[in-house]
Amino acid sequence: MEQLHVDCRAMPRTALMLSLRLVKLSLSLAVAIGVAGCASPLPAPAQGEVAVPAAPGRWLGSGSCAAMGCHNANGFQGEPRSEYNTWVSHDPHARSYEVLFNDRSRTITANLDPKKPAHENAVCLNCHVHRDYAKEQANHHARFAKQDGVGCESCHGPARDWVGDHYKSGWSAKTAEQKLKLGMQDTRSLAGRVRSCTPCHVGAQGMDVNHDLIRGPSASGI
């Protein structure tokens, strides 16, 4: 079968402009659907189905950033408004949960606590999902998925109290301290990035990669 090839240069100007308008309209509809998806409520339970109460939901999950009208415009790597697709396609943080199932992780957990696999151990999830995982688990929204690994909120902070405002014109006028009160971490300043990244990549209380993790608790006394 011959492949259809359309040469835009040979198209009449009227037809070309109409084609461009149709493409623009399609993109606009996709963006509108994406924005609507940001605020879509949880589906109601079917008739006769018992409704499960949603968690308080400080942590909304990376899907709350994934609408095309927000951070998933599907542009090139690192382009503004394409942060989500850059993360999911190129950032190793998006696969931080998956590595908890590999041979190296199995060896570590066999030495640390054979009864608790890495993907269920809060010591591992503190860095492979987000800090204070066990303490914050009750604050996960029903749509939050630890399988996303180190996602948007792991660095930027739980989004419930700021996701609806951070794109508005008045947001940029807020100080880092005001944003922090709403849960958004400061990732713009060098000091803010140090506070956000070093607990996992260097270590902090309860988050150190020490002898217990490398060789097991029995090695600590060596």
pLDDT, tens digit (0-9, with 9 covering 90-100), for 38-81: 444 334 434 544 333 344 589 999 999 988 888 988 888 888 88
Choose between 11 and 128: higher pLDDT: 128
Residue 192 pLDDT greater than 70, yes or no: yes
d(CA 138, CA 218): 32
From residue 1, alpha-carbon distances to 4, 6, 27, 145 in Å are 9, 16, 30, 45
Collapsing DSSP to helix, strand or coil, 6 comes out as coil
Over residues 132-163, the pLDDT tens digits come to 999 999 999 999 999 999 999 999 999 999 99
Per-residue pLDDT, 56: 56
Cβ atoms of 212 and 219 closer than 8 Å: yes
DSSP 72: -
CA end-to-end span of the chain: 72
Distance CA 72, CA 84 (A): 5
Taken in order 123, 125, 126, 127, the sign of the CA dihedral is positive
Question: Tens digits of per-residue pLDDT, 30-49?
Answer: 433 443 444 443 344 345 44
Cα 177 from Cα 154, distance rounded (Å): 18
| Between 162 and 206, residue with greater pLDDT | 162
**Cα(164)–Cα(43) distance, integer angstroms:** 20
The rounded mean pLDDT for the chain is 78
Dmax over Cα atoms in the chain, in whole Å?
A: 81
**What b/e sequence results for 26-35 when a residue is b if at least 16 CB atoms lie within 10 Å of its CB, and e otherwise?**
eeeeeeeebe
What's residue 218's pLDDT?
A: 55
Looking at the predicted structure, is the pLDDT value of residue 3 above 70? Answer: no
pLDDT for position 2 = 47
Q: How far is 148 from 129, CA to CA, in rounded Å?
A: 8
Specify whether the backbone of 102 is left (phi greater than 0), alpha (psi in -120 to 50) or beta: beta
Q: Is the pLDDT of residue 122 over 50?
A: yes
Burial of 211 per CB tally in 10 Å (0-12, 13-18, 19+): middle
Label residue 202 exposed, middle or buried (CB < 10 Å: 0-12, 13-18, 19+).
Answer: exposed
Mean pLDDT of 180-187: 94
Over range 85-99, report the average pLDDT.
Answer: 94
pLDDT of residue 15: 47
